[in-house]
Amino acid sequence: MSDTFELIVTADLRDELSEPELAELRWHLGLGPQPEQLTIVREFPVVVLDDAGNPAVENAPEPLLAGHGPAQDVGGALCAALERRDDDRRPSWALTSRREIHPDEFEKAGELLCWLADRLEAHHRLTDGAVWMGYFRFHEELLPHVLEVTDGHVNWDD
C-alpha cells in the first residue's frame, strides 16, 4: 500500500529574491546544481548505520519540489518550472511544481513552503490570513485539498 500524495504548488513570488536564493530555489525544483551553502532549508538529517552497525545521523540534502517524468502513483507527469515575469505591472517569478510526496517528507517540504509563503504576491493571501499555495491529495482521492500556510504551518492534515 502506498502513502503517496500529489503536491501541486503554484506560486507568484515577489521580485525580491537574491541570486543565492534563486539558485537554491532552482535546485529545489530540480532545475540547477546544489549550491555550496544552503540557506532556505539547511538541515536534511537522515539516520544511517555507521561502519560498526550503529545508527548515526548524516546530512543528506535533496531537492524538495523537484519532479520530472511520469508519476508513479498519481498519474500524469511530474514537472517543475521557475519563470521570470518581466511585466511592467509587477516583475516577479512564476513557480509551478507537481510532484509525488510521502508524509515522511512533509516536514522538510513544509519548511520550504513556509519560506515561499513569506515571499508570495498579495493575491495569495486569503481573508483569514492564510496563504494559498496550491493543492495536495492522497493518491487514491479524486478531489484535492487546498494547500495553505497559516502562521508558519502547512495544512497537511486537511
Q: Which residue has the cell 539558485?
A: 23
How confident is residue 66, by pLDDT bands cut at 50, 70 and 90? very high
**Average pLDDT rounded to a whole number, residues 83-103:** 89
| Sequence-separated contacts (24+) of 71-76 with Cβ below 8 Å | 71/6, 71/100, 72/4, 72/100, 73/2, 73/4, 73/100, 73/139, 74/4, 74/5, 74/6, 74/100, 74/137, 74/139
Cell for 40?
532556505
Greater confidence, 88 or 8?
8
With 60 as the cut, is the pLDDT of residue 56 above it?
yes
- Burial class (CB within 10 angstroms; exposed 0-12, middle 13-18, buried 19+) of 127: exposed
Which run of H or E residues covers position 106?
helix 106-117
Give me the pLDDT at residue 1, please: 56
Neighbouring residues of 35: CB distance < 8 A, sequence distance ≥ 6: 20, 23, 24, 27
User: pTM above 0.75?
Assistant: yes
Greater confidence, 111 or 90?
111
Give me the pLDDT at residue 145, please: 96
Of the CA atoms within 13 Å of residue 149, those in its CB half-sphere come to 22
Give me the pLDDT at residue 158, please: 64
Could you read off the pLDDT of 104-156 as tens digits, one per residue?
999 999 999 999 999 999 999 999 999 999 999 999 999 999 999 999 999 99
Strand ranges (E), 41-107: 45-49, 55-59, 69-70, 77-85, 92-101
Tell me if 76 sits within 8 A of 8, measured CB to CB: no
Give me the pLDDT at residue 87, please: 74
Q: How far apart are CA 100 and CA 145, in angstroms?
A: 15
Could you read off the pLDDT of 29-44 as tens digits, one per residue?
999 999 999 999 999 9
